[in-house]
Amino acid sequence: MSIPRLNEDEVEQLPPDIAKKARALLLSLVRPHLPMAIFLFVIVVLTALFLVIGPIFIADALDNGVPKAVEGDPGPLIRAVSAFVISAIASAVLAFASTRLVGITAQKVVYTLRSRLFGHIQRLDLGYHERSTSGRLVSRQTSDMESVQQFLTYSLFDTALALFEMTFIAVTLIVLDVPLAIVVFLGFIPLFFITKSAHTSQRNAYRRTRTSIAKVIVHFVETMGGIRAVQAYRRQPDRRGTLKDEDTAYRDANTDALRGVAWFAGWTRLVGNVTQTVIIIVGAWLVIEDWTQVGVLAAFILYLRRFYGPLDELVQSFNLYQSASAALEKMAAVLDTDPEVVAPTRPRALPAHSSHQSSGATSAADPSSKPSGRSIELNHVRFSYGDGPDVLPRFDLRIPVGEIVALVGATGAGKSTLVKLVTRFYDPSEGRITIDEVDLRDLDDAQLRQSVVMVTQESFLFAGTIADNIRIGNPDAGDDEVIAAATAVGLDPYIRNLPEGYDTDVKKRGGRLSSGQRQLVSFARVFLANPDIVVLDEATAHLDIPSERLVQKALATVLEGRTAIIIAHRLSTVEIADRVLVMDSGRIIEDGTPDELISGAGKFAQLHKAWRDSLV
C-alpha span between 347 and 451 (Å, rounded):
15
Beta strand pairing call for 533-537 and 563-567: parallel
Q: Which stretch binds Mg ion (CB under 5 A): 230-238, 414-422, 568-576, 584-592?
A: 414-422
Q: What are phi and psi of 290, to 5 degrees?
A: 70, 25
Question: Shortest distance, CB of residue 396 to Mg ion, whole angstroms?
Answer: 21
- Nearest residue (CB) to ligand ATP, 285 versus 611: 611
Q: Which stretch binds Mg ion (CB under 5 A): 154-162, 300-308, 322-330, 409-417?
A: 409-417
Of 427-466, which residues contact ligand ATP (CB under 6 A)?
Answer: none
Question: Shortest distance, CB of residue 108 to Mg ion, whole angstroms?
Answer: 45
- Nearest residue (CB) to Mg ion, 145 versus 568: 568
Among 112, 359, 416, 487, binds Mg ion (CB under 5 A): 416
Residue 498 three-state SS: coil
- Nearest residue (CB) to ligand ATP, 310 versus 409: 409
- Residue 457 lies near Mg ion (rule: CB under 5 A): no
- Nearest residue (CB) to ligand ATP, 68 versus 129: 129
Binding partner of residue 130 among ligand ATP, Mg ion, none, CB cut-off 5 to 8 Å per kind:
ligand ATP
Distances (CA, A) of 345 to 348, 427, 445: 9, 16, 11
Question: Shortest distance, CB of residue 392 to ligand ATP, whole angstroms?
Answer: 9
- Nearest residue (CB) to ligand ATP, 373 versus 409: 409
Binding-site size for Mg ion (CB under 5 A) equals 1
- Residue 153 lies near ligand ATP (rule: CB under 6 A): no
Question: Shortest distance, CB of residue 125 to ligand ATP, whole angstroms?
Answer: 11
Residue 417 three-state SS: helix
Distances (CA, A) of 270 to 196, 329, 447: 17, 34, 68
- Nearest residue (CB) to Mg ion, 177 versus 538: 538
Question: Shortest distance, CB of residue 522 to Mg ion, whole angstroms?
Answer: 16
Amino acid at residue number 583: M
Return the exposure string of 226-245: e unless at least 16 CB atoms fall within 10 Å of the residue's CB, then b.
Answer: eeeebeeeebeeebeebeee
Q: 10 Å Cβ neighbour count for 393?
A: 14
C-alpha span between 230 and 223 (Å, rounded):
7
C-alpha span between 543 and 601 (Å, rounded):
29
- Nearest residue (CB) to Mg ion, 150 versus 416: 416
Binding partner of residue 412 among ligand ATP, Mg ion, none, CB cut-off 5 to 8 Å per kind:
ligand ATP
- Nearest residue (CB) to Mg ion, 87 versus 423: 423
Report CA dihedral (137, 142, 147, 149) to the nearest 10 degrees. 120
Question: Shortest distance, CB of residue 489 to ligand ATP, whole angstroms?
Answer: 24
Among 4, 16, 72, 388, binds ligand ATP (CB under 6 A): 388
- Nearest residue (CB) to ligand ATP, 322 versus 417: 417
Question: Shortest distance, CB of residue 601 to ligand ATP, whole angstroms?
Answer: 23
- Nearest residue (CB) to ligand ATP, 337 versus 416: 416
Distances (CA, A) of 282 to 169, 173, 178, 191, 302: 19, 15, 12, 21, 16
C-alpha span between 477 and 246 (Å, rounded):
47
- Nearest residue (CB) to ligand ATP, 222 versus 444: 222
Q: At what angle do helices 34-60 and 294-336 cross, to 10 degrees?
A: 160
Of 507-526, which residues contact ligand ATP (CB under 6 A)?
Answer: none
Question: Shortest distance, CB of residue 420 to ligand ATP, whole angstroms?
Answer: 8
Question: Shortest distance, CB of residue 337 to ligand ATP, whole angstroms?
Answer: 16
Question: Shortest distance, CB of residue 421 to Mg ion, whole angstroms?
Answer: 13
Quote helix, strand, coil % in the chain, to nearest 5: 65, 10, 25
Question: Shortest distance, CB of residue 531 to Mg ion, whole angstroms?
Answer: 21
Binding partner of residue 235 among ligand ATP, Mg ion, none, CB cut-off 5 to 8 Å per kind:
none
- Nearest residue (CB) to ligand ATP, 498 versus 564: 564
- Nearest residue (CB) to ligand ATP, 220 versus 385: 385
Among 39, 128, 154, 385, binds ligand ATP (CB under 6 A): 385
534: left (phi over 0), alpha (psi -120 to 50) or beta: beta
Beta strand pairing call for 579-584 and 563-567: unpaired
434: left (phi over 0), alpha (psi -120 to 50) or beta: beta
Nearest to 165 by CA among 278, 279, 53, 266: 53
Among 14, 315, 391, 438, binds ligand ATP (CB under 6 A): 391
Q: Positive or negative, the Cα torsion across 464, 468, 469, 475?
A: negative
- Residue 130 lies near ligand ATP (rule: CB under 6 A): yes
Q: Positive or negative, the Cα torsion across 389, 391, 397, 402?
A: negative
C-alpha span between 516 and 555 (Å, rounded):
12
Stretch (H or E) spanning 114: helix 75-123
Q: 10 Å Cβ neighbour count for 501?
A: 14
CB 205 within 8 A of CB 257: yes
Binding partner of residue 414 among ligand ATP, Mg ion, none, CB cut-off 5 to 8 Å per kind:
ligand ATP
CB 580 within 8 A of CB 590: yes
Question: Shortest distance, CB of residue 586 to ligand ATP, whole angstroms?
Answer: 7
Q: Which stretch binds Mg ion (CB under 5 A): 218-226, 285-293, 359-367, 412-420?
A: 412-420
- Nearest residue (CB) to ligand ATP, 229 versus 274: 229
Binding mask 403-422 for ligand ATP (x = CB under 6 A): ------x-xxxxxxx-----
Question: Shortest distance, CB of residue 124 to ligand ATP, whole angstroms?
Answer: 14
- Cα 167 from chain centroid (whole Å): 39
Q: At what angle do helices 34-60 and 75-123 cross, to 10 degrees?
A: 160
DSSP single-letter state for residue 465: B
Binding partner of residue 417 among ligand ATP, Mg ion, none, CB cut-off 5 to 8 Å per kind:
ligand ATP
Binding partner of residue 4 among ligand ATP, Mg ion, none, CB cut-off 5 to 8 Å per kind:
none
C-alpha span between 495 and 546 (Å, rounded):
17
C-alpha span between 278 and 227 (Å, rounded):
65
Question: Shortest distance, CB of residue 13 to ligand ATP, whole angstroms?
Answer: 18
Query: Contact positions toward Mg ion, by CB under 5 A?
Result: 416
Contact footprint for ligand ATP (CB under 6 A)? 130, 385, 388, 391, 409, 411-417
